[in-house]
Each structure stands twice: as structure tokens, then as C-alpha cells.
Amino acid sequence: MVKAKKWILAHHFDGNPKDSDMKLVEETLPELKDGDVLLEAVYLTVDPYMRPFSAVALKEGDTMMGTQVALVKESRNPKFPKGTYVDANVGWRTHTVTSDESLLRKFPPFGELPLSYAVGALGMPGMTAYYGLLEILKPKKGEVILVNGAAGAVGSLVGQIAKLKGCKVIAFAGSPEKCKWLKDDLKFDHVFNYKQVKDQEKAIREASPDGLDCFFDNVGGESFTAGLRCMKDFGRIAVCGCISSYNDKGEEKQGPYPNALINRRQLRVEGFLGWRWMAQWDEATLEMIDWIRQGKLVVKESVTEGFDNMRSAFYGLFKGNNIGKAVIKV
């Protein structure tokens, strides 16, 4: 018999996540039947989307949602033989028995690249950056793009891909360390610490007096409003996330929205989820792998050791503790 640890949603979040909201429990897994695989988690992910989506996707007592890089320890399914690594959408668990092939994805071989990239730059966050930028914003050489939350798992990749496409990148992040990384290592054109900038709109206008062609929004709230006010006519905005309001109690505070500007400047504003393009992920993954190997794309991870520390790593997302992708190593 295999014992599994899992984090469950003990209580739906109300405001900032608390220790009492998530509970670490153990369970005994069943013996494998035909079609089953036994998975062992190697790397797991914590992402901001888990905070708002848990309210609609989970019941109290359910396993916390999320993906992991898992090793197939035992198999009675010929499609996933023992020793295979998979991207498994099975939540915060150390071990899992499943026959549901829709939860399992074989990713393209990474070669020398770390397996942890499968839950980061070469997984959902990377695909969100890739398709959100290239399919929704469709940046053109010479255009100006604003990225907020720019030192995170998605934003740091968005800015780099935009640079690859010949764009000027204006970025906001939340600490001197993050801003230094974006400016010195990733070579973003203008980088601002939003905690030290009194007027974000003024900073954007000084960096690009003619306005913005594109805006990749990860933050929402006042940051969204500042970027919106700086858009050129026919500009494009991709709304990826709104972490600034995820822990707000009651109605989400996303504004105020100057909707007249959207109308007058004839802007395209589109919200999206990276899963939309999941059928095409392998194609994008191969291109991202090539960029990483050529040194055109820099990947940074903030790794937390130990499954028991997942909850604290999750809290850290909302305190700005991570640079790049937050990953848990079992």
C-alpha cells in the first residue's frame, strides 16, 4: 500500500489565505487496476490563479488544484509506461493513482533542460505568455508594450518574447532586486518599481511619450487603469490576471475603469486563459526550448524544498516573494 500526502481546501478563502484554509492530510492509495498509473510528484507548482479559481472549481475538502511533474512509478497502462515523466493535472499530492488520461500530458523531451520547466517556462505559465502575447496582442517590430508583474513567471517571459519580436518593453515590478534583474539581465528598456513610483501613468508617459501599442496586464486595479490611460488609438490589451485584487473580500475591486477611453480610442481588450491553446502547446514548447538553448530566453525559478512547505510558498506569491516561477521540489 502506498501512502500519499495531499493538501486539501479546508475552507474557502476569505481575504488573505490563512493556515486554517488548507490542511495537510494522508491517505492510502488503492491497488492498481488495468489502465491505472501510480504517479510520484517530483516538482509541483503554485500559481496566483489558484486563489480565485478555487472558489468556483473546488468544494471544501477537495485537493488543492494544480499541475505537477510526476514520475510514473508503476503502470498498468501501456500509454504511460513505468519511468515516464508526465505533466499531471492532479493537484497538490505526493502520489496519485489514476486512469484518467485527460489529466496526463507527455511533454516534448527537454534534453539537458530541468524537468521543473514543465510547470513553468515550458508549461502553463510559458504557454500563457507565448499565446497571450503572440495570438492576442500580435506585437509588431518597433511597437511599445507595457508588462506589469514583469518579474513573475508569465510577465518575465512576455517581456523577453516581445524583445525577440523587436518591441520596446516597459516593465513594472515590486522590488529593487526584481527591477535590477529585469533591467540588467533581461534588458528590458524601462523598468519601474511600482512601490516607489507615485504616479504609474506619469512614469509610462515619460518612458513612451507617444503612448502604448500593447499592454499585457497581470495585475489589474490601479496598474491596469494607468496603462489603459496611456494606450494609443487601436491599441491592444491582453488581460491575463489581476493579482492585486485576488485577496479582496467581497466584490473584486478592479477599477475604476475609464471605459470611455476604451470606446474613444477603439481599443481591443481581451481576457484569456492559457489553456485555450492547449492543443498547440507542443509546437510552442519546441520553439521555447530552442530559444532557451540559444540563450535568447532566460528562465528563473524560485524553488521551495519540501512538499510540506507548499502552503507557505503559495502565500509568498501574494507577498511578491518569488522572482520568476515559484516551484516546489519534493
Q: What is the CATH number of the domain that holds 72?
A: 3.90.180.10
The proportion of the chain whose per-residue pLDDT surpasses 70, expressed as a percent, equals 97
Would 287 be classed as within a structural domain? no
pLDDT at 222 over 50: yes
Q: For residue 82, give the C-alpha cell.
A: 513505468
Using CA atoms, how far apart are residues 164 and 168, in angstroms rounded to an integer?
Answer: 10
> Rounded to whole angstroms, how far apart are CA atoms 5 and 264?
54
Question: How much is the pLDDT for 257?
Answer: 62
Domain count, the chain: 2
Asked whether the whole model's pTM tops 0.85, one would answer: yes
Is the Cβ–Cβ distance between 108 and 289 less than 8 Å? Answer: yes
pLDDT digits (tens, 9 = 90+) for 17-39: 999 999 999 999 999 999 999 99
Task: Give yes or no: residues 40 and 86 share one domain.
Answer: yes
Same domain, 134 and 240: yes
**What's the CATH number where 224 sits?**
3.40.50.720
Grid coordinates in use for 299? 528562465
The whole-number average pLDDT for the span 125-131 is 97
Position 1 scores a pLDDT of: 82
102 plus 185 within the same structural domain: no
Q: Of 275, 290, 315, which closes a domain?
A: 275
Whether 112 and 132 map to the same domain: the answer is: no
Evaluate whether residue 265 is within a structural domain: yes
pLDDT band at 264 (very low <50, low <70, confident <90, very high): confident
On whether both 175 and 258 belong to a single domain, the answer is yes
Domain boundary among 260, 275, 290: 275
Which domain does 204 fall in, by range? 124-275
Q: Is residue 116 part of a domain?
A: yes
251 pLDDT more than 50: no
> 65 vs 68, 188, 216, 329, CA distance in Å?
10, 33, 25, 17
